[in-house]
Amino acid sequence: MLIFTNFDIKRYYNALKYDLILNGKKYVLFIAGLFVLLLIVDLIFIMDSYNEMGLYNGLIPEYKKQYNPNRYNKMFFITYMICALFAIGTAFPYLRNRKNASHYLMLPISVLEKFLIEFSIRIFGFSIIFIVLFWLGFKVAEIIFNMIDLSMPFEIRNFNLFHPFTYIAKSSDKVFVTLSLLSYATFLFAGASHFQKNAFFKTVLSLGLLSLLAYMFSLVLSYIFIPNEVSGFEVKILSRKLDSGMLNIQLYFYIIGVFSSLFLLPYAYFKLKEKEI
């Protein structure tokens, strides 16, 4: 078997184009389903915000007469994390059984090119498409909402394409959010490369166990350092501002985001390379 060890941009492009042609229908159906799902979720949240005005018996606060930007942002990040489970957590689908795995590993391209193709589609491509679909779905949901005969005025401001990121004022906060999402995405990607059978469920289970361990570790630290301020299963996190103006919690996530990405991406690559040997 001829094994390529170097990276060739032309070979990478041809292999990427081959993957898009071969799995084009699956990708189109996923994108269409994702758009419909986001449209329905957006419409539900808009209607929910509008219906909240009816709880004030005519004395409606001004801020309730418009769609809250914070709700838009929270909905974006929550839906991204949920949808990423299915888009990124199912990477390397050809490794799920021996027959497809052997055919996939024998493709005349290097391991790095196979790795970058999955990265380009599952992380980079999905993230760009999700940002566009979320914004577009909200716009269509807004049009449908405005077609309804409303008894009370309700304003929906014009959110731009990158509003969940541009709405964040501080650059340090933008880096914090970006690194958190990157860390989450690379964990799912590494899990898909590591596990062969039932990779999706094992990755989700690993994510849940890791979150539980982090919670338990934080709980133990809370009882060790500030026992008088915690009770039961409550976790108390001390937030302090550093000399640079950054919060200590942000610094922790910077470290986790940077080092987890530096570790998990090479780990996913070498697990793929290990399967070829």
User: For the chain, what percentages of helix, strand and coil (3-state, to nearest 5) are there?
Assistant: 75, 0, 25
- The dihedral of CA 133, 136, 142, 144: what is its sign? negative
Instruction: Give pLDDT < 50 ranges for the chain.
Output: 1-3
Residues of the chain above pLDDT 70, percent:
84
pLDDT at 1: 44
Residue 60: predicted pLDDT: 60
Q: Where are the domains of the chain?
A: 9-276
pLDDT at 248: 67
The CA-based angle 170-171-176, given to 5 degrees, is: 100
Q: If you average pLDDT over every residue of the chain, what do you get?
A: 82
Smallest Cα–Cα separation from 163: which of 267, 259, 67? 67
pLDDT at residue number 188: 92
The whole-number pLDDT of residue 57 equals: 54
Contact 111, 198 (CB under 8 A): no
**42's tokens:** 């957006």
pLDDT on residue 119? 94
pTM: 0.84
Q: Give the pLDDT score at 87.
A: 94
C-alpha pair distances (Å), 170 with each of 57, 76, 166, 240: 38, 19, 9, 17
Are the C-beta atoms of residues 113 and 276 closer than 8 Å to each other? Answer: no
In three-state secondary structure terms, 241 is strand
